[in-house]
Structure 1
Amino acid sequence: MLRILGSAKRLCDGLTRRDWLQAGGISLLGLGLNDLLAPAARARPATSAESAGKARHVILLFLYGGVSQLDTFDPKPPAPVDIRGPFQPIRTVLPGVYLSEHLPLLARRLDRVALVRSLTHPHPIHGVAYAVTGIDRVDIPMELNRHDPRHWPFFGCVIDYLDEQDRPRATPPAMPRTIHLPWVQS
């Protein structure tokens, strides 16, 4: 497990959502790289091949859930640091409403935003079955056991199966089709 900052909380057997955000935020050069390269890109005319690209491969990174509300829109300023997370709350233009320190522009314009903090659902677990298959069934023992044979197939499996029907492979791939390296085609 990659551990950049914080405790060793996990999402399945991989990185936590917070780890993904931290890894993306490490590269400060990456934040301003677009501004540095934009003048050079505007200076040269685009060829027809560059202006209408063709995507041959798509990498689908499906991180279910999303950014924690405690790290963005509901930071809970009076809560202990262990509860509210590592980011500092900042004031907004609305009295008594705080946002994460990473949302300063939104904090200045929050009077133009409808901030909803009262959503709920009847399920006692944030199961992924409904999110990735559309099957509205909650079975807590099944959700807690990722090897349970009653799990519905992930929608990516269906796409993979249909793709194999259209273009069967003569030989098995060197790597599983779920893995892609930029210099190797799986």
Structure 2
Amino acid sequence: MPKVGHKYVLSEKFNERAYHQFIRSQPEWRELHRWIKSEDFIESVMECLHERYVDLGYGQRLSPGRRFLRSLVGKSGRGSLKLGTHRLNARFEFSMLPSDGGHVRPHTDTPAKLITLVIAMLRPGEWEPEFGGGTDVNRPKDVRQTFNILNRKAGFDEMDVLHTYPFVPNQAIVFVKTFNSWHSVQPMTGYARRTMRKTLTINIETRR
């Protein structure tokens, strides 16, 4: 994906046929696919953010009485948001970056994306920290580039790094799309192309 960086993707949007063949052939991935496609998944993510004071405006608090009624019809009493989930869609993709130069250019995500979860897929000891592969939170050196709602790509030399989340096992990073949610993965310095930075990326986005 040269527009994004040095990256391989298997998803509903890229290599769609192979993606669906793989999902159908693997019971575990088929079950995960079904859950991520459900309103319950989207609602759970929204509630988790709402509890941390990140309100994206897709729901309102349910009264105790309405939560009780929900529980009577089989919905989890945990649910405290009535979400307009019919306006949202969730999907996931398998992504790989080769350790010898793989990268993702600084960007802010497309306007349709609302939330992105990036989950590391590796076993302990499978990745060498000196390869790099961490996710950078960026800020443009030129303040005029800060506003980027349309997801213009930038060069690494145009960005400062505010924080780096190292690529480690059992990790999930959550992004909320904003006008300045710049992030990237710098070119990695591994020595073997067969060593891949593997992730499962889940996107919650507005329906088109």
Of Structure 1 and Structure 2, the greater strand share is in 2
Richer in helix (by share):
1
Higher relative contact order (CA 8 A, sep 6+): 2
TM-score after normalising by structure 1: 0.22
> What is the TM-score of this pair, normalised by structure 2?
0.20
Structure label with greater radius of gyration: 1
